[in-house]
Structure 1
Amino acid sequence: MSAPAAERIDQPCPECGERIEADARYTVWCAACEWNVDPVRAAEREERPRLLERRRRELARRHGERLLREVADGKPLRAHRDVPALLAQAISVLVHAVTVTLVVAGLWCLVAGRGTGLVVLGAAALLVAVALRPRFGAPPDDVPLLVREDAPELFALVDEVARTVGTRGVDLIAVDEEFNASVWAYGVRGRRLLTIGLPLWEVLTPRERIALLGHELGHFANGDTRHGRLVWTAEQSLDTWSYFTAPTPNAVSWQAMAINASTFLPWLLLQGVLLLLDQLTLRAAQRGEYLADRACARAGGTKAAIGLMDRLLLGESVMTTLGRERNRGLMRTSRAADTARRAEGLWERLAEEIASVPDHEIERLRRARTRQGHTVDSTHPPTHLRRRCLALGPAESPRIDVDAARAERIAAELAEPRRTVAREVLKPVG
């Protein structure tokens, strides 16, 4: 299926009278006065976030703007541990110290309290400690996973990008259906996992893909606090405490109400510690994202890095296109056979559709998202600030390139995961 043919519109702006030339497939707007630049406001398009989430987004914007001003004033953007980040690590150590204390106390009760009630108390302490133990995570088991033997060319590219940004490569690559990419360390030994979301990967140019890898691996190179296992595992332990002490909703019996009354203050305290830990690491997270963007430009070049920022604005269009492909399959009779057939060309159709998005629509999205404070999530600086920071920084030429032959070899290694994820995308929901 080819991308729909463009239908040109040529009309005066109803606000300022300036001539508007546009593609009828997309929102008609005026670049001169920004009439109709954001016809559906973000507040109407999505559910209003909760107070904590709104607070996170507001702080992300404020920290992002402050760091951008520092860059604009010529201050160097360096990775460092500021006082809030150090406090977050100290709190994390205290959280884990509670778990260690429970283990020691539990073992002492078991040994010293034989034949007494201390044994029961010790066993209870050990059970709680097990529930609160640091969890180092494991690779997902519901998406395609690649090791070096499966995709030597892709891993070689990741290794090359890693060396360019000043870190080592990854041990495992996961491929999923999200419009995203991420890295994290798993297991006690801290093995590294790179997750590539095909809806994002497939709409990027080869250099933008290198920039994406540079950004993700840049988090390891910069020692981003939020990617640190100490803080991350402490947050997990606090979440577990919070789960155990959370008030029972709609309690009607006096026993349940009594339990709610006794656990409310501990639960409230835990919420406060979680919020404090979140706020202490947020500025470091913002700095980490800007530094990762610098690594992104170093690997793929500033032009590709800025192009990646623009592609991130197209996430809604990408997922709408994939949803349309899924819905088209619901109208067919032989769903299984038809899904397998349509899965073969899904990513090519998606790339063609997104490549046909005109420049004036991308510019509209830039301006609309600037008004909305668009961000990948509540811990990232707003995308338009990240784009401006890249533009203000030193112009980088790409240090890594992928020729056509290498791109084909990487595509061949991803062929089976592409088919698997495509079938998952086209599977009817529910």
Structure 2
Amino acid sequence: MRRILAYAVAAIVHVLSIGCLALGAWLCTRDFPAVWLLPGVVLLALGGLTMPRPPAMPKHAVRLSRVEAPELYAVVERVCAGLGVRRPRVVAADDRFDAASGVAGLLRRRYLVVGAPLWASLDARGRVALLALELGRFAPGDPSRSPVTGWVDHSLAELESLLEPQRDKSLRALQDPAVLAAMSTRVGGPVGGDQSLVWIVELLLFPVTWVLRGALALLRRAYLALLRPDAIRAVHAADATAARVAGSAAVAEVLLTRWLTPSIVTVLRRDARAGDHAGAAAWAQRRAPVLPLVAAWPALAAEIRAAHPVAPAGGDGGAGEYPPSLGQRVAALPPEEPGELDLDSSGTDAELEPVYRRMVGDLRAG
């Protein structure tokens, strides 16, 4: 019944968006130009905003070809073979202390994005565990990867963000006496009628947008509540498969490392800035190879994990807005899984050196 309700909500969103587009197009072309043009445009905009669309790849990700990163592609293919899933079509890297996988575009192309800081902070077993955690999500049963339920959730999230009031466009800021005085001084006179009309319209639209945003938020939360059991089951299944391939201890270390992101990034930034002085020494340091620098990062991350050996009871599990907590994921891991794969990924560091250099530069710049 729960899955039927989830698919029913998704079908309603699909039908309503297509209906708004069709009705809006009909109103815009009826006795053109006529009074029906304005509601037709509004319906077209609403249909376009609510139309379920596939998510895109993460921004600022640098795609890596097989020629540029043969070692990384080889490791990814070995992990995919161990998991029993198809390999991703796109392998990319970015500067985030994270990793991501999913399907993008209408063609549902599978992608894998490896964060250079996180990759550099893990040893060989941890890298295999990271890939297994992300690639294991391609197994069937995850509602966030479904073209029906996943696309609807993405569209509802986009629409909810559009209705969120912006700080720089807030009505309270525009009504601030200091703002009014500055505007009056700049234009050389009192506030005009056009600005007053804008404020009146905002006053009238504010309760409408507030109600719409609240209703949309409730709808999305209820929809995610319907998907939550299947999402939790899919995450636990992916974790168990990753533990079989990479080992339970390595998977637990990766989960803990991702939860400790703020602390580890602070240490890595301090390590990247060590000895950074002005003048010729700074220029020489920026031109120096970064591989010897990042080679010490797995030990730094291990020290931070040793200071936090117990997984927290809460925290985002790194799988969207409705995953199990980190503590639940670590507790559900098989306790005695040694891992089937022990791959050497040291060759990937040389392939990712351009990304490492940009990452180190960003860390030094703050």
With structure 2 as the length reference, what TM-score do the two structures score? 0.79
Aligned to 1:212: 130
How far 1:187 moved relative to its partner? 0.9
Aligned to 1:188: 106
Q: Which amino acid counterpart does residue 398 of structure 1 have in structure 2?
A: G
Q: Does 1:289 align with 2:235?
A: yes
Aligned to 1:373: 314
How far 1:228 moved relative to its partner? 2.7
Aligned to 2:97: 179
Q: Which amino acid counterpart does residue 298 of structure 2 have in structure 1?
A: A
**Alignment equivalent of 1:159, drawn from 77, 102, 108:** 77
Aligned CA distance change for structure 1 residues 263 and 388 (closer, same or farther; 3 Å): closer
Whole-angstrom CA distance in 2 between matches of 1:277 and 1:283: 12
Aligned CA distance change for structure 1 residues 336 and 224 (closer, same or farther; 3 Å): farther
Decide whether the 8 Å contact of 2:101 with 2:111 is kept in 1: yes
**Alignment equivalent of 1:305, drawn from 248, 251, 256:** 251
Whole-angstrom CA distance in 2 between matches of 1:416 and 1:259: 49
Q: Which runs of 5+ in 1 are unaligned?
A: 1-82
How far 1:173 moved relative to its partner? 1.8
Whole-angstrom CA distance in 2 between matches of 1:354 and 1:326: 14
Whole-angstrom CA distance in 2 between matches of 1:242 and 1:116: 31
Q: Does 1:423 align with 2:361?
A: yes
Whole-angstrom CA distance in 2 between matches of 1:383 and 1:263: 35
Aligned to 1:6: none
**Equivalent residue runs for 1:19-30 within 5 Å:** none
How far 1:400 moved relative to its partner? 2.6
Deviates more, 1:288-297 or 1:229-238: 229-238
Aligned to 1:238: 156
Q: Does 1:132 align with 2:50?
A: yes
Aligned to 2:208: 262
Decide whether the 8 Å contact of 1:215 with 1:294 is kept in 2: no
**Alignment equivalent of 1:280, drawn from 216, 222, 226:** 226
SS in 1 for 2:101: strand
Aligned to 1:104: 22
Instruction: After superposition, give the CA deviation of every residue in 1:41-76 in whole Å (9 maximum; x if it has no partner).
Output: xxxxxxxxxxxxxxxxxxxxxxxxxxxxxxxxxxxx
How far 1:95 moved relative to its partner? 1.7
**Equivalent residue runs for 1:7-46 within 5 Å:** none
Q: Does 1:411 align with 2:349?
A: yes
Decide whether the 8 Å contact of 1:110 with 1:123 is kept in 2: yes
Q: Which amino acid counterpart does residue 129 of structure 1 have in structure 2?
A: G
Whole-angstrom CA distance in 1 between matches of 2:355 and 2:64: 9
With structure 1 as the length reference, what TM-score do the two structures score? 0.68
Q: Which amino acid counterpart does residue 263 of structure 1 have in structure 2?
A: T
Whole-angstrom CA distance in 2 between matches of 1:346 and 1:281: 43
Aligned CA distance change for structure 1 residues 135 and 171 (closer, same or farther; 3 Å): same
How far 1:182 moved relative to its partner? 1.4
Q: Does 1:398 align with 2:344?
A: no
Decide whether the 8 Å contact of 1:147 with 1:171 is kept in 2: no
**Alignment equivalent of 1:332, drawn from 278, 292, 313:** 278
SS in 2 for 1:185: strand
- RMSD after superposition: 3.0
Q: Which amino acid counterpart does residue 66 of structure 2 have in structure 1?
A: R
Aligned to 1:345: 292
Aligned identity (percent) is: 25
Whole-angstrom CA distance in 1 between matches of 2:53 and 2:301: 40
Instruction: After superposition, give the CA deviation of every residue in 1:273-317 in whole Å (9 maximum; x if it has no partner).
Output: 122123222232222221111111122133433343444455344
Instruction: After superposition, give the CA deviation of every residue in 1:61-113 in whole Å (9 maximum; x if it has no partner).
Output: xxxxxxxxxxxxxxxxxxxxxx4444333222222222101111123224443
How far 1:396 moved relative to its partner? 3.6
Whole-angstrom CA distance in 2 between matches of 1:135 and 1:123: 20
Whole-angstrom CA distance in 2 between matches of 1:363 and 1:338: 30
Q: Which amino acid counterpart does residue 365 of structure 1 have in structure 2?
A: H
**Equivalent residue runs for 1:109-120 within 5 Å:** 109-120=27-38
SS in 1 for 2:112: strand
Q: How many pairs were matched up? A: 335
Decide whether the 8 Å contact of 1:214 with 1:300 is kept in 2: yes
How far 1:210 moved relative to its partner? 1.4
SS in 1 for 2:88: coil
Whole-angstrom CA distance in 2 between matches of 1:165 and 1:365: 30
SS in 2 for 1:390: coil
Whole-angstrom CA distance in 2 between matches of 1:381 and 1:244: 28
